[in-house]
Structure 1
Amino acid sequence: MPSRDRIFSRIRHNLGRGPLEGEAAQALKARIEGHAPNIVPKRTNIPHKEQVNLFQAKAEALAATVARISSFDDVPEALRDYLTAHNLATRIKMSPDKSLDSLPFDKTPMLEIKRGAAAPEDEVSLTPAFAGIAETGTLCMASSPETPSTLNFLPENHVVVIKASQITGTLEDSWERLRKTYGAGNLPRTVNFISGPSRTADIEQTLIMGAHGPRRLHILIVDDGPQD
C-alpha cells in the first residue's frame, strides 16, 4: 500500500470511519478544489503601486534591504554597488533560470558569475523570485532545476531579483499564481516563503543573524510597469 494510503487509512481508523462516499465525498472534493481564501486583511486591498511600496516597507522592517531599479539592465550595476558597500567578494553563484540569461554582466567585468546550485564555498547568490507578498514583505520562491533551493539558504548573502508586477497583495494571491502557472496538482517540489534574513533568538533571547540561512537579504525590485 502506498504511503499516502497508509496515512489516510490510519487517520480513518482513529476517527472510527471508512472512506467518504456519496454527497460527503463530493462536498470534500469541491472544498479541496475550490481553494477558498481565508480572511484577507483590508490593508492589501490597495492599488498595485501601493502594494509594491508596502512590500518594500514590510521587507525592510524584517531587516532585508531593498533597492528599486528601472530595468533588468540595471541589475549588474546594482549588484556591484551592493557588494562594494558590504565589502563582499565579487564571485557570484547565480541561478541558471532563463529569466536571468539576458543580464548584461559585460557592463561589470569585475563580477565573476557562475551558475548552478550553491556550494559551501559560495558567499553570494543571485536568484529570481516567483512572487512577493505585500502583506508581510515575504518572497515566494519556487524550486526547480533552474531555481535550486540551495541558493536561497546556503550562501550568507542572498540577492533576489523580482519584478514589480510579481508583487501581490496576500499569501493567498501567491498560491493562486502558483496554481495558475504550474497547474493544479503539479506544483513545484518545494515552495519557500522567505521573510528577511535568517535569524533566531532561541539562546538567552539574543538575536543572532544567519543562524539557519543568509545573514543578509537584498531585494532588487525591477519597475516593469503595472501588474498584469
Structure 2
Amino acid sequence: MTVSSREKILSGIRRGLKRGPLEGSARDAVEARLADLKRNLIPARGQLDRAGQLRLFREMAEMLDATVEIVDGPDAVPAAVDGFLGRHNLPKTLRMAPHETLEALPWAEKAPLLELNRGAARVEDQAGLGMAFAGVAETGTLVFLSGGNSPATVNFLPDNHVAVLRASDIAGAYEEVWTRIRADREPGTLPRTVNLISGPSRTADIEQMLIKGAHGPRRLHIIIVPDDEAA
C-alpha cells in the first residue's frame, strides 16, 4: 500500500506526541471545533464602513511604501498598468497571472503596446501582475491564494509587483478574510499557499540600513477597482 506524504507527516506528528489517531470523544471534539470556528478578538481599527476601510487600507499600504492607485473601473486597469511601467522606465513586457478577471480586461484596446506573458514568473521578468483575493484594512496587507490562475512566483520573483484589488474585497481584519477563504473553497480544503503581502520586500542588516528588494519586489503598486459603495 502506498502511503501519502500527508499521512507520513501526520504519522510523524503522532509519534512525537506519543499517541495514535484520535478516536471517540476526542475526535468528536476536534470535528465540532472545526465545524464551528470561533473568531478571536478583532481590533476595532478596521471595523469601519466600506468607504472607511478603503481609506484605511490605502493609508496603511502607503505607510509600508506601497503605491496605491484608484481607477474608475475595470476597463481602466490596463492603462494604469501601462502608466506604472512608463513612470519607472520599465519595458512594456508584463508577466501576468492567468486569472479570469485579468484575462477579461481590454488589454488590446487600452494598452496595445503591452506584451503579456501568462503563467509562472521567470528570472528575466521585470514586472508581474497578479489578482489579489482580498485586502486587509487594518494593516494594508494583500492576500493572494496560490493556484493555477495565481502562480505565487508572479508576486515575488519580478522586481516590480503590480496587484489588482477590488474595493469590495477589502476586509477590516484578517479573521474576515479567513472566513471568506473557507466559504470560497470546498469544505475541509484550503489553498496550497496563502500569501500575505505588506508593502515591497525590505530588510535591514546589522547596521540597521534599510535595503529594499532583498527577498522580493522592490516596488509594490496596488490598483484598486472601486466596484461598490466604497468608491
Alignment TM-score > 0.5, same fold: yes
The equivalent residue for 1:182 is: 185
The equivalent residue for 1:33 is: 35
Q: Is the 8 A contact 2:76 2:110 kept in 1?
A: no
Q: Secondary structure at the match of 1:178?
A: helix
Within 2, Cα distance between the matches of 1:73 and 1:15?
Answer: 55
- Name which of 221, 224, 227 aligns with 2:224: 221
Give 1:116 deviation, angstroms: 1.6
- Name which of 187, 191, 195 aligns with 2:198: 195
Q: Secondary structure at the match of 2:83?
A: helix
Q: Cα distance 1:91–1:42, how it changes in 2: closer, same or farther (>3 A)? A: same
Give 1:102 deviation, angstroms: 2.2
Q: Cα distance 1:24–1:89, how it changes in 2: closer, same or farther (>3 A)? A: same
The equivalent residue for 1:140 is: 143
- Name which of 104, 125, 134 aligns with 2:106: 104
Amino acid paired to 1:102 = A
The equivalent residue for 1:44 is: 46
The equivalent residue for 1:173 is: 176
Give 1:23 deviation, angstroms: 2.6
- Name which of 154, 159, 162 aligns with 2:162: 159
Within 2, Cα distance between the matches of 1:209 and 1:138?
Answer: 17
Structure 2: runs of 5+ lacking an equivalent? none
Give 1:103 deviation, angstroms: 1.5
The equivalent residue for 2:119 is: 116
Structure 1: runs of 5+ lacking an equivalent? none
Q: Secondary structure at the match of 1:56?
A: helix
Give 1:207 deviation, angstroms: 0.9
Q: Percent identity?
A: 51
Amino acid paired to 2:186 = G
Amino acid paired to 1:209 = K
Within 1, Cα distance between the matches of 2:114 and 2:100?
Answer: 19
Within 2, Cα distance between the matches of 1:27 and 1:173?
Answer: 24
**More deviation in 167-176 or 13-22?**
13-22
TM-score (norm 1): 0.91
Q: Cα distance 1:75–1:8, how it changes in 2: closer, same or farther (>3 A)? A: closer
Give 1:2 deviation, angstroms: 4.8
**More deviation in 20-29 or 69-78?**
20-29
Q: Secondary structure at the match of 2:144?
A: strand
Q: Secondary structure at the match of 2:205?
A: coil
Give 1:62 deviation, angstroms: 0.7
